[in-house]
Amino acid sequence: MRNAKRLLILSATSLAAYIAAATTVPLGAAVVKVQDPRTVVMIVNRDSNDIAFMDITTKKIVGKAFLGNNVNPHMVMMSPDGRYVVTGGTRANKAYIIDAHTLELVKVIPVDIAPEHLAFSPDSRWYYQGNPEGDSISVIDMVSLTKIKSITGLVEPLNTVFLPDGSKAYVGNYGAHWVGVIDVRRHELLKKIQVGDVPGVAKLDPEKYLGNIHGINIPQITNDGRWLYAADSDLGVVAKIDPREDKVVKVIRVGKSPWRPYMSHDGNYLITPNNGDQTISIVDLRTDKVAATLEAGENMTGVNFAADKAFVISSTTAFVYVYDMKTLRPAGRLKMGTNIQLETATTDTADQKIYLADSTENAVIIIDAKTNAFEKIMNVGLFPWGTHIMDSKDNYCH
Amino acid sequence: MVRSRLVAAGAMLLLTGSLAAAQTSTVGGRVVNSQGGVVPNAEATLRPLPAPGATPMPNMPNMPGMAAEKTMAVNADGTFTFAGVAPGQYVLQVDASGFERSSQQVTVANQPLTFAVTLTPLDIPGAEGSAEAAAAVVPDTQVLLDRIKQLEQRISDLEANTVLSEPETRVKRIEVYVDPNNNVHDEPVPGARKQVTYQRERVYRRQWLTEKLEQAFADQDSKKIAVGVSAASVTQFARRTSGNGGEANGHAYQLNSADLLFAAGLAQYTSFFADVVGLSGAPPDAEIHSLTLLNSYTARLVRQNELNVREAWLRTELFSQRLALSAGRLDLTNYFDRNAVANDETAQFISDGLVNNPMLGLATNGAGVAGVFDPKNGFAFKAGLQQSNTDATNLSQSLYTLAEVDYVARPKGLGEGSYRVWVRNDNSSQRARRGGGVSLDQKLTPIFGLFGRYGTADAAGGRDQFYSGGFQFQKGLVFNPDDYWGVGYAETNLERGDRERLAEGYYNFLISEKLRLSFHLQHVFERPGGTPSVGFLLPAIRVQARF
Average pLDDT over residues A267-271: 97
Provide CB contacts within 8 A for B304, sequence distance 6+: B279, B280, B281
pLDDT at A208 (0 to 100): 83
Q: Is B411 part of the contact surface with chain A (CB cutoff 8 Å)? A: no
Phi, psi of B133 (to 5 degrees): -65, -40
What's the order of all strands across the beta sheet hosting A84-89?
A: A73-78, A84-89, A94-99, A105-110
Average pLDDT over residues A249-257: 96
pLDDT at B222 (0 to 100): 79
Torsion of CA A127, A128, A132, A136, to 10 degrees: 130
Q: Is A97 part of the contact surface with chain B (CB cutoff 8 Å)? A: yes
Q: Is B482 part of the contact surface with chain A (CB cutoff 8 Å)? A: yes
What's the order of all strands across the beta sheet hosting A146-151?
A: A118-120, A126-131, A136-141, A146-151
pLDDT at A12 (0 to 100): 46
Residues of chain B positioned with their CB less than 8 A from the CB of A321: 376
pLDDT at B406 (0 to 100): 97
Q: Do B410 and A328 lie within an 8 Å CB cutoff?
A: yes
Provide CB contacts within 8 A for B324, sequence distance 6+: B315, B316, B317, B318, B371, B372, B374
CB atoms inside a 10 Å sphere around CB B361? 22
What does each of the 547 residues of chain B score in pLDDT, given as a tens digit? Answer: 445 554 444 444 444 444 444 589 999 999 999 888 999 899 999 998 876 666 554 444 444 445 578 999 999 999 999 999 999 889 999 999 889 999 999 999 989 999 999 999 888 877 765 555 555 555 567 778 877 877 887 776 676 556 666 677 777 788 889 999 888 898 899 999 998 888 887 777 777 777 788 888 888 887 788 999 999 999 999 999 998 876 889 999 999 999 999 999 999 999 999 999 999 999 999 899 899 999 999 888 878 888 999 999 999 999 999 999 999 999 888 899 999 999 999 999 999 999 999 999 877 888 999 999 999 999 999 999 998 877 777 777 788 999 999 999 999 889 999 999 999 998 876 666 899 999 999 999 999 999 999 999 998 888 999 999 999 999 999 999 899 999 999 999 999 899 999 999 999 999 999 999 999 999 999 998 878 889 999 999 999 999 9
Q: pTM for the whole thing?
A: 0.87
Q: Do A82 and B480 lie within an 8 Å CB cutoff?
A: no
Q: Is B237 helix (H, G, I), strand (E, B) or coil?
A: strand
Residues of chain A positioned with their CB less than 8 A from the CB of B126: 49, 66, 68-70
Residue A198 has pLDDT above 90, yes or no: no
Which one-letter amino acid corresponds to residue B137? Answer: V
Best to test chain B binding among A13, A94, A143 (most B CBs inside 10 Å): A143
Q: Is B221 helix (H, G, I), strand (E, B) or coil?
A: helix
Q: Is B196 part of the contact surface with chain A (CB cutoff 8 Å)? A: no
| Alpha carbon separation from B534 to A295, B286, B524 (Å, rounded) | 43, 16, 8
Q: Do B446 and A289 lie within an 8 Å CB cutoff?
A: yes
**Count of positions (residues) in chain B:** 547
Q: Do A101 and B62 lie within an 8 Å CB cutoff?
A: yes
What's the order of all strands across the beta sheet hosting A269-274?
A: A262-263, A269-274, A279-284, A289-295
> Residue A304 in contact with residue A393, Cβ under 8 Å?
no
Provide CB contacts within 8 A for B71, sequence distance 6+: A24, A25, A26, A27, A28, B43, B44, B45, B46
> Residue B125 in contact with residue B69, Cβ under 8 Å?
no
Per-window interface: A 254-293 vs B, CB < 8 A: 256, 289-293
Q: For B348-383, give the secondary structure using H, E and C.
A: CCCCHHHCCCHHHCCCCCEEEEEEEECCCCCEEEEE
Q: Which residue has the higher pLDDT, A245 or B196?
A: A245
For residue A147, the number of C-alpha atoms closer than 13 Å in the C-beta half-sphere is: 19
Q: Do A332 and B375 lie within an 8 Å CB cutoff?
A: yes
**A108 vs A318: CA distance, rounded Å:** 35
**B267 vs B446: CA distance, rounded Å:** 40
Q: Do A23 and B70 lie within an 8 Å CB cutoff?
A: yes
Domain(s) labelled CATH 2.60.40.10 in chain B stretch across 22-51+67-124+131-136
Q: Do A21 and B71 lie within an 8 Å CB cutoff?
A: no
| Alpha carbon separation from B446 to A37, A283, A309 (Å, rounded) | 43, 10, 22
> Residue A93 in contact with residue A81, Cβ under 8 Å?
no
**B236 vs B251: CA distance, rounded Å:** 9
Write out pLDDT tens, residues A25-79: 344 457 899 999 999 999 999 999 999 999 999 999 999 999 998 899 999 999 9
Per-window interface: B 231-290 vs A, CB < 8 A: 268
Which one-letter amino acid corresponds to residue B143? Answer: V
A289-315 b/e with 16+ CB inside 10 Å = b? ebbbbbbbbebbbbbbbbbbbbbbbbb
Per-window interface: B 514-533 vs A, CB < 8 A: 514
User: How does DSSP assign B374-422, residue by residue?
Assistant: --SSSEEEEEEEEE--TT-SSSTTSEEEEEEEEEEE--TTS--EEEEEE
Share of chain A above pLDDT 70, in %: 93
Q: What residues form DSSP beta bridges with B45?
A: B71, B93
Nearest to A330 by CA among A277, A301, A293, A291: A293
> Residue A299 in contact with residue A340, Cβ under 8 Å?
no
Of B102, B173, B203, the CB nearest to A48: B203
| Alpha carbon separation from A299 to A63, A258, A313 (Å, rounded) | 32, 11, 8
Per-window interface: A 39-78 vs B, CB < 8 A: 46-49, 66-70, 72
Q: Give the chain B residue whose CA is nearest to the CA of A290.
A: B446
Provide CB contacts within 8 A for A118, sequence distance 6+: A75, A77, A86, A87, A88, A95, A127, A128, A129, A130, A160
Average pLDDT over residues A117-131: 96
Which CB contacts under 8 angstroms, 24+ apart, belong to A121-124? A121/A162, A121/A166, A121/A169, A121/A184, A122/A80, A122/A162, A122/A164, A122/A165, A122/A166, A122/B56, A122/B57, A123/A80, A123/A166, A123/B50, A123/B56, A123/B57, A123/B58, A124/A79, A124/A80, A124/A81, A124/A83, A124/A84, A124/B57, A124/B58
Q: Give the chain B residue whose CA is nearest to the CA of A66.
A: B127
Q: Give the chain A residue whose CA is nearest to the CA of B481.
A: A199
Q: Is A194 part of the contact surface with chain B (CB cutoff 8 Å)? A: no
**A385 vs A74: CA distance, rounded Å:** 7
| Alpha carbon separation from A34 to A24, A39, A97, B95, B259 (Å, rounded) | 21, 8, 16, 18, 62
Nearest to B415 by CA among B448, B444, B378, B450: B444
**Count of positions (residues) in chain A:** 398
Q: Is A200 part of the contact surface with chain B (CB cutoff 8 Å)? A: yes
Q: Do A29 and B97 lie within an 8 Å CB cutoff?
A: yes
The burial class, CB within 10 Å (0-12 / 13-18 / 19+), for B188 is exposed
Q: How far does the CA of residue A180 sit from the closest CA of chain B (Å)?
A: 24
SS3 content of chain B, % helix, strand, coil (to 5): 15, 50, 35
Which one-letter amino acid corresponds to residue A368? Answer: D
CB atoms inside a 10 Å sphere around CB B283? 22
Per-window interface: B 146-185 vs A, CB < 8 A: 159, 163, 165, 168, 172-173
Of A17, A46, A200, the CB nearest to B480: A200
Q: Look at strands B113-119 and B25-33 and give their pairing.
A: parallel
**B457 vs B109: CA distance, rounded Å:** 95
**B364 vs B388: CA distance, rounded Å:** 7
Residue A374 has pLDDT above 80, yes or no: yes
Q: How far does the CA of residue B320 sit from the closest CA of chain A (Å)?
A: 6
Of B61, B105, B416, the CB nearest to A292: B416
Task: For domain B225-546, say whether CATH 3.50.50.60 is its number.
Answer: no
Q: What is the mean pLDDT of chain A?
A: 92
Q: Which residue has the higher pLDDT, B243 or A22?
A: B243
pLDDT at A24 (0 to 100): 39
Pick the CATH number of B22-51+67-124+131-136 from 1.10.10.10, 1.10.3720.10, 2.60.40.10, 2.40.160.20: 2.60.40.10
pLDDT at B172 (0 to 100): 78
**B503 vs B394: CA distance, rounded Å:** 40
Nearest to B357 by CA among B298, B291, B283, B448: B291
User: Strand locations in A209-308, DSSP E?
Assistant: 216-221, 228-232, 237-242, 247-253, 262-263, 269-274, 279-284, 289-295, 300-306
Q: Give the chain A residue whose CA is nearest to the CA of B47.
A: A143
CB atoms inside a 10 Å sphere around CB A258? 31
**B233 vs B251: CA distance, rounded Å:** 17
Of A36, A124, A143, the CB nearest to B105: A143
User: How does DSSP assign A305-340, residue by residue?
Assistant: EETTEEEEEETTTTEEEEEETTTTEEEEEEE--SS-
**B502 vs B284: CA distance, rounded Å:** 14
Domain(s) labelled CATH 2.40.160.10 in chain B stretch across 225-546
Nearest to B425 by CA among B414, B434, B438: B434
Q: Is B70 part of the contact surface with chain A (CB cutoff 8 Å)? A: yes
Of A70, A166, A329, the CB nearest to B408: A329
> Residue B494 in contact with residue B291, Cβ under 8 Å?
yes
Q: Do B62 and A32 lie within an 8 Å CB cutoff?
A: yes
